[in-house]
Structure 1
Amino acid sequence: MDTKSKSTAGKQVIGFLCFVMSFSIFFSVGLLLLEQPVYGDGRFVLSEAFDGDVQSTQRYQSAVASRFQTLMVDAGADGSFENLSFSSINEDQANVIYRISNSESGKTFSNTNVNLFQESVPEGYNYIVDYRNGNVKVTRDGRDITGQFEFWPIYDLYLERYRADSYDSYEYSDGYESFVESYGWQDLELRMAFSEKIVPTESPWSMYTVIQERFWEQAGTFIALGIAAVLLMVYIFLRKAKKAADQRIAWVSGKVWLEVKLILLFISFSIYSGFCWSSYGRRFYKIIALLQFVYYVYVLINDMRYNKGNVFRHNIIRSIMRWYRRREQYKPFQRKLVDRFWLVLGIEAALLVIGMLLFMISLSFSFRSAYYQFVFLVFVVIWIAAAVVCVCVYVKRFRKTVEEMGEVVDQVSVMKAGDMEAKLTLPADSDLYATAQDLNEIQEGFSVALEERMKSERMKIELITNVSHDIKTPLTSIIGYVELLEKEEDLPEHVKDYIKILSKKSQRLKTMVQDIFDVSKASSGEMKLDIEELDLVKLIRQTLADMDEDISGSNLIFKINLPNDPVMIRGDGERLYRVFQNVIKNSLQYSLEGSRVYISLYRDDSWTTVMIKNTSKYELGGLGENITQRFVRGDASRSTEGSGLGLSIAESFTEACGGNFRVTTDADLFTVEIAFPSVR
C-alpha cells in the first residue's frame, strides 16, 4: 500500500471514529439529561445536577437519609450517646443541627444550643426530620414529604424475599418493628433541621458535598459536550472520508447473509432489552447496551443504503440455490425437474418432522417466562415461514421453467413460419438456456443457407436473363431472315420444308425467351400490374374460346363446370389470362389421350377457387408441388415440346395478383387449384 492509500485509509478511520464518539457522547448525555427522577427508586439522575432547587433532588434526600441513619446508629441501644461526640455532623452546624434524646436513660445530645424539641427551629432551617414513638416524619417548609424517602435508609420498611413458586414476583413483609427493636430505637427521639442555604464547612462530611458533587457533574457534562463538539467538527471536516468508510463497511456487511444479520439484530435487541428490564443493571451498562443496538441498526441502514436490493438477495437460501444450480447444470433437463421435486419434498418432510417435535416440546414443557414463550413463538414462525418460502421458491422456479418452455415452443412456431431474424433470449441461469442457444444457432444456420440459396437463385436468374437478352438480338435477326426466306419464290420444296422448320423452332425459342423475361420480372417484383375488378367466369370462358382450336384438335374431353352468374375478383386480366392459358396448355400437352379434363369453379364467403384436373400420360413420381419450379417438366425424358416454365409463370402471376396457386398429385391425377379472395 502506498503512502497516499495509507493517508486515505487513516482519514477514513479518524472520520468514522470521530462520528461514532461524538454521537455516543451527545446521545448518552442527552439520555441522561432527559431522564427524570423517580422518587423512591434510589437513583441519581444527571438532570438534577442542573435543577436550581437542590433540596428537591434525590442526591440531597440521600444525604439527609444517610445522616439520619448515622445519628440513629451512633446513638446506640445503651443510651450513652458516647459515639455522637465524635460524629462529623457536629462540625456541620451551618448546614444541619439536631437534638436526640433517650427516654429510658434520660440523656440528651445536640450540636446546637437551641432546644429543638421545645423551641421553634431557627430561621433558615426549613428541612425537618422528626423521629418519635417509632415513626419518622419529614417536612419541608411545613409540607410533609415523608413518602419521598420510602426506599432510603431513613425509612427501611420492606424486606424482600423470593416466593418459592414464582420467578416473576416478590412477596413483601413489614419488618420495620423488628428492625427498630433490634437496634433499640424504640426509646429514641430525634429532630434534625437542615439549612435552606448550603455553605462550605470544615466537616469532611458536610452537606456542601452535595453542591460539590453537583458542580463536578455539571463540569463533567460540559467537558463531555465540549469534547463531542470538537469531535463533531473533525467529523464534518472529514465527512467525505467518513462516507468512504461507510462504503467500506457496506462492502463488508454486504458479504454477510441476511439471516445472519437478522440473528445478530435479534441478539443485539435481546442484550438491550435485557439490560432495560433488569432492575439491577447500572445506568452505564444500559446506555452501552442501547448504543450497541443503535450502531447495529446504523450498520443495517448503511448496508441498505449502498447495497440496496442486494441486502435481501444475499441470503442463505439463494446461496444454497446457486450452489445447487452449479451442481445440476450438467444434468439433463428432465433429470433437473425430477431431482428438484424430490429435493423440495424432502425439505418439506424434514421441516414437518422438526415442527412436530417443537410442538411436542411446547406441550411437554411449561414455560415459566413470557420471554421464553416469545422466543419459542419466534422459532415456530420462522419454521413455518421457511416451509412456505421453500414451496414458494419451488413454485416460482417451476412456473418460470414452464413459461420458458412456452417461449421455446413459440420460437419453434416462429421458425416454422419462416422468421429467422427473431432470436430467443433466456437468462444464463435458465434450465433451457442451452436449448435456446441451440435454436438460435439452428436459425443462424437456416438464415445462412437461405441467404446462400437466394443468392444462388438470383445469380441463376441473372444468368438466364443475361443469356436470354444476348440470345434475343440474334434471334430477332434469325426470325427476320426466316420471314424473308418464306417470301421467296421458286424455292425447291425441300428448302421450303427447311424454312418451315426454322420458322417453327425460332418462334418456340422466342416464346421461351419471353417466358424467361416474364419469370425474371415476376421474381424480382418489377412486373407492372393493372389490378381491377373482373369477372373470373368470363375470363375463363374467353381463354377456352381462344384455345378452342387446340382443344378441338386434341383427343381430350373437357368438362366445364362454371356458374352462369358473374364471379368477381380483383386482379390483372392480362396476367390471369396468361395463367389460365398456361394451365390449359399444360393439360393439353401432358394429359393421357382420350382422358377427361375437368375445369370447375367454387365460391364461398372468403375465397373463389378454380380447380383444373387431368390424368397425366407420364408417371409423376411424386413431383407434387415441385412441378411449379422453373424448368421442371412432367416429361422426364424431355422428348416433348415445352420449356418447363409454364406452371412457374402461372404461379408467379397468380401470387402477384394476390391469389394462391397450388398443385397436388394423387398417383396420375394432376390437380391445379387457383384461388382468389372473393369480392362481395
Structure 2
Amino acid sequence: MPSTSGSKWLHSVRWKFLAAALASAAPTAAVLYAFYLLSKYLIRHPFFAVPMAPIINGFGSTPVLVVTGAASFLFFYFLFSRGTIRRLEQLDASLRDMENGDLGTVAQRPATDELGQAADSIDRLAKKLSDYMERVTEGLQAVASGRLEYRIEIDRSYGDFARIAESINAMAEQLDRSIRDERHAEKTKNDLVTGVSHDLRTPLTSILGFLEVIEQDRYKDEVELRHYVNIAYEKARTLKKLIDDLFEYTRIGGGMPLARTELDLTDLLRQLAEEFVPSLDKASMTCRLAAPDEPLVIEGDGNLLMRAFENLMSNAISHGEGSPYVDIEIERREDIAWIRVVNYGEPIPAMDLPFIFDRFYRGDRSRTSGGTGLGLAIVKSIAEVHGGSVRARSDRSRTAFEIALPALRSS
C-alpha cells in the first residue's frame, strides 16, 4: 500500500495536470473563436478564398475546427504543464542519482507545494543517508586500521542501514574477540612451555646434582651413597609423574576419542574408595560414601573418569590433614549427576579459588594432586570432554570439589 505522503503527492500531481487541462480550455476556445472570425473575414477576399474553399468544402468547417482546437489544446496543455513535467523530471533525475550512489544531489529549488515538499523529503533523505554512510565508512576504516573497539552508533530510524551498521559492529566485535583469543592462546602456550620447563628442570637438576656427587665419589660411605640414590630415585619418580600428567592433559585436550560405555557412578566410586583404603589408613582417615539407592547411570569413558576421581581423592587426602574423614557424595538433580569429594582440612584461600583448575597454577599452598600443577586441570578437562563441568567450594568447615555430568534417563 502507498504511504500517506506518497498518496498525497500523487494526488497533487493529478490535480496539477487536471488544472493544466482546465487552464488549456480557455485559450483553446479563444483561439477557435478567433480562428472562426478570421476565417469568416478572410474567405470574403478572393486571394484567400481560393486556397481556403477546397479545404472547407472538402473536409467541412467542423473537422477543421476540431483539428485546430485539438492542436491548440495540446499546445496550451504542454505549455501549462511544462513546469510540472520539468519538476518531475528533476525528481526522477535525483532519484536516479541516489540509485547510482550519488547522495549529494539536490532535487530542485525549494517550493511550498506538494512537489516541493517531495523534493525537500528527497533532499533530506539523501543527506541523512549520506551522513550515515559516512559514519559507516568511518567505522569500516577504523576496523581496517586495527581499531577493533570502535562501534558505529545504531539509529533504528535508518532501517536496513542500521542493520548494516549492526553487522559491522558484530564483525568488529568478533574480530576483536578472535584476536584476543589468539593472543590468549599464545600466552597460554608460552605459559605452558615456561611451566613445563620449570617443573622439568627442578627435579632434573637435583637428579644430575646427586648423580654427579655419586659419579665423582664424593660420598663418605655406602649409607650416604644409598641416601643420594634414593633422593635421585624419588626425583625421577616426580619427573615421570609430571611427564605422565602432561601427556594425559595433552591427550585429553587434543580431542582423542572416548571409549564410552554406560557406567553406574555408585559402583565406580565405591570401587574407588576401596582402592584408596591403604592411602586412607596411612593418613588415619576413613572414606564415607553417600549415594542414592537406585543406580545413577551415565555414559562415559570409565578409565578417564576414574583418573579424575583419583586426582580429587588424592587431593582430598593430601589436604584433609587433621580430619578423620573424606566424604564422597552422589546425587541426581533432574538430568545431572553431581559428585562431590569433600575434605575437612584448611580452606582454600579465596584469592586462589578461581584459578585452582588452571594448569601449573599454585597459590600459597598447592591443591594439585602429586604437586605437578596439572592434577585439577586434568579433572577439569575430563569433565568437559564428557559434557560436564567442575567447580570448588571452600570455607572454614569444609572444601568440596563438585563434578557435574549428564545422567542417562531412568528406565
Relative to the length of structure 2, the TM-score reads 0.60
Which residue of structure 2 aligns with residue 447 of structure 1? 178
- Using the alignment, how far apart are the partners of 1:281 and 1:268 within structure 2? 21
Pick the aligned partner of 1:657 from 386, 393, 405.
386
Whether the 8 Å contact between 1:258 and 1:315 is mirrored in structure 2 is: no
Aligned to 1:515: 245
Contact kept, 8 Å, 1:571 with 1:658, in 2: the verdict is: no
Deviation digits for residues 214-264 of structure 1 (CA, Å, limit 9, x no counterpart) = xxxxxxxxxxxxxxxxxxxxxxxxxxxxxxxxxxxxxxxxxxx99999867
Shift of 1:646: 0.8
Aligned residue pairs: how many? Answer: 316
1:42-61 pair list within 5 angstroms: none
**What SS does structure 2 have at the residue aligned with 1:559?**
strand
Aligned residue in 1 for 2:23: 274
After superposition, give the CA deviation of every residue in 1:140-194 in whole Å (9 maximum; x if it has no partner): xxxxxxxxxxxxxxxxxxxxxxxxxxxxxxxxxxxxxxxxxxxxxxxxxxxxxxx
Q: 1:453 to 1:311 in 2, by over 3 A?
A: closer
Structure 1: give runs of 5+ residues left out of the alignment: 1-256, 331-424, 482-490
Q: Give the equivalent residue in structure 2 for 1:122.
A: none
Equivalent residue, structure 2, for 1:590: 319
Task: Using the aligned pairs only, state the percent identity.
Answer: 20
| Secondary structure class of the residue paired with 1:628 | coil
Tell me: CA distance 1:565–1:493, structure 2 relative to 1, closer, same or farther (3 Å): farther
Number of the residue aligned with 1:646: 375
Higher gyration radius (CA): 1
- CA distance in structure 1 between the aligned counterparts of 2:177 and 2:336, rounded to whole angstroms: 33
Partner of 1:414: none
| Distance change in 2, residues 1:287/1:500 (3 Å) | closer
| CA-based RMSD | 4.9
**SS class of match (1:612):** strand
Structure 1 residues 319 and 305: alpha-carbon distance in aligned structure 2, compared to 1, 3 A threshold: closer
Distance 1:622 1:275, change over 3 A: same
**Aligned partner (choices 104, 108, 119) of residue 315 of structure 1:** 119
The one-character-per-residue Cα deviations of 1:391-429 (angstroms, maximum 9, x if unpaired) are xxxxxxxxxxxxxxxxxxxxxxxxxxxxxxxxxx99699
- Residue matched to 2:73: 286
Query: Residues 598 and 564 (structure 1 numbering): CA distance in 2 closer, same or farther, change over 3 Å?
Result: same
Name whichever structure is richer in helix by fraction.
2
Distance 1:435 1:544, change over 3 A: same
- For residues 286 and 461 of structure 1, the distance between their equivalents in structure 2, rounded to whole angstroms, comes to 93
Gaps of 5+ in 2: 1-5, 33-70, 100-116, 135-155, 212-220
For 1:627, the equivalent position in structure 2 comes to 356
**C-alpha displacement at 1:438, in angstroms?**
6.5
2:323–2:344 CA contact under 8 A, matched in 1: no
Q: 2:258 aligns with which of 502, 522, 529?
A: 529
User: Which one has more relative contact order, counting CA pairs under 8 Å at least 6 apart?
Assistant: 2
**1:572, distance to aligned residue in structure 2 (A):** 0.7
Which position in structure 2 is the counterpart of 1:360?
Answer: none
Greater shift after overlay, 666-675 or 598-607? 666-675
Instruction: Give the Å deviation of 1:279.
Output: 9.3
The one of 329, 340, 350 equivalent to 1:611 is 340
Shift of 1:629: 0.6
Q: Does 1:581 align with 2:310?
A: yes
Displacement of 1:275 in angstroms is 3.7
Letter in structure 2 aligned against 1:506:
A
Mapped contact 1:529–1:572 kept (Cα < 8 A): yes
Structure 1 window deviating more from structure 2 (504-513 vs 289-298): it is 289-298
Q: CA deviation at 1:524?
A: 2.6
AA of the residue aligned to 2:123: S
Q: Tell me, yes or no, if the aligned pair for 2:357 and 2:377 is still in contact at 8 Å.
A: yes
Distance 1:315 1:556, change over 3 A: farther
TM-score, L = length of structure 1: 0.39
The equivalent of 2:187 in structure 1 is: 456
For the Cα contact (< 8 Å) 1:275–1:281, is it kept in 2?
Answer: no
Q: Shift of the alpha carbon at 1:531?
A: 1.1
Q: Secondary structure at the match of 1:566?
A: coil
